[in-house]
Amino acid sequence: MWKFLIRRLLLSILILFLVSAVIYTVMRSLPVSFIEAKAREMSALPGAKSYSECLAQLNDVYQMDGNPVIGFFKWLSRALRGDFGDSWMYNKPVTAKFKEVIWDSFFLSLISLVLELVIAIPLGIRAATRQYTRTDYAITVVALIGISLPSFFFATLLKLLFSVKLGILPLNGKVGRYYNQLSNFGKFLDIVQHFILPITTLTIVSIGFLMRYTRTNMLEVLNSDYIRTARAKGLSESKVINLHAFRNTLIPVITMVGGTLPGLFSGAMITEQLFAIPGIGYTSYNAMISGDIPFSMFYLMFMAILTLVGTLIADILYAVVDPRVRVN
């Protein structure tokens, strides 16, 4: 087990190194006008250095000139120390801005993931155990709607219904206009009200694929020989499902769920933008379209780390659930 984990960890480190090289290469291949524009902006400030000095300073910090190999390792050494430079758009260290906005995305993604698991897995199992019935068809239709339609469709629909027509939930934003005048409990309720629609949108677009995936795997397990043997022994259908089929159905589902960790954050970029939730997705989107290279490089590295962590967690859970992985 430990050898398995060590191998996966070393492989993850190697992959992260290669991904960081790709990110640096792509960012370095972009037009240098971003850095030049920032240098002109800095030099125009009262008492600032000359344009050439500002340009040299930026190139030294972000290693966008000179030898690309040396530049990459200098940038990587700074990144390993947590120094990604200052955000050009937000005028503060990248890590400081990240700490300000990450918790909104974290709670948005965490609650959505919990709801996705609680809703999608039971419904997927229910559809498999009621194959070709009205229940199966209804769950399949709901799943296909969630898979087929984009997040902005559901966001617009929910806004129109609950904000414009009924007026019971806020249209967008994290807090209301009178947030600072509320009590602590009132502030909490205000934030909850603003998060209901984004969480609902993110959950709807996430549950469809997991429901179908769970249904497919459960049907495969139910057609296995050991399930037929369990039924032949006279076990009730509930015991067959809960004691034998459920655990084996979770093995491929766990792998897929582990991979959804970065997907929730990248998907939240659209959802946060639609509802003006100042999370990491909203912040990164605005940084990218404004040419903020430091924050963009940090966000891409953040996504790569999330992907590797999600895969590593899935591998660990896979080994816990399936003893054959530990043996091999």
106 within 8 A of 302, measured Cβ to Cβ: no
CATH number of 94-327: 1.10.3720.10
* Rg of the chain, C-alpha, whole Å: 24
pLDDT in tens, the chain (328 residues): 677 778 888 888 999 999 999 998 888 777 656 677 778 877 887 877 888 888 787 777 766 666 788 888 888 898 888 888 888 888 899 999 999 998 888 888 889 989 999 999 999 999 999 999 999 999 999 999 999 999 889 999 999 999 999 989 998 888 888 888 888 899 999 999 999 999 999 999 889 988 998 999 899 988 888 888 888 888 888 888 887 888 788 777 777 776 666 666 665 788 889 999 998 989 999 988 887 888 998 999 988 888 888 778 777 777 776 666 655 5
Pair 198, 277: CB distance under 8 Å: yes
Both structure tokens of 121: 């897995």
Residue 15's pLDDT is 92
Domain boundaries, the chain: 94-327
The answer to whether residues 88 and 293 touch, using CB atoms and an 8 Å cutoff, is: yes
pLDDT score recorded for residue 1: 65
- pLDDT the model gives residue 127: 94
Query: What's the pLDDT at 258?
Result: 67
CA 177 to chain centre: 29
Q: What's the pLDDT score for residue 178?
A: 85
- What is the model's pLDDT at position 142? 93
Distance between CA 308 and CA 71 in Å, rounded?
Answer: 25
Q: Would you state the pLDDT for residue 162?
A: 94
HEC sequence for the chain: CHHHHHHHHHHHHHHHHHHHHHHHHHHHHCCCHHHHHHHHHHHCCCCCCCHHHHHHHHHHHHCCCCCHHHHHHHHHHHHHCCCCCECCCCCCEHHHHHHHHHHHHHHHHHHHHHHHHHHHHHHHHHHHHCCCCHHHHHHHHHHHHHHHCCHHHHHHHHHHHHHHHCCCCCCCCCCCCCHHHCCHHHHHHHHHHHHHHHHHHHHHHHHHHHHHHHHHHHHHHHCCHHHHHHHHCCCCHHHHHHHHHHHHHHHHHHHHHHHHHHHHHHHHHHHHHHHCCCCHHHHHHHHHHCCCHHHHHHHHHHHHHHHHHHHHHHHHHHHHHCHHHHHC
The predicted pLDDT at position 86 comes to: 85
Tell me the whole-structure pTM to 2 decimals.
Answer: 0.81
Angle of CA points 47, 50, 55, to nearest 5°: 125
What is the pLDDT at residue 24? 87
The span from the CA of 178 to the CA of 197, in Å, is 20
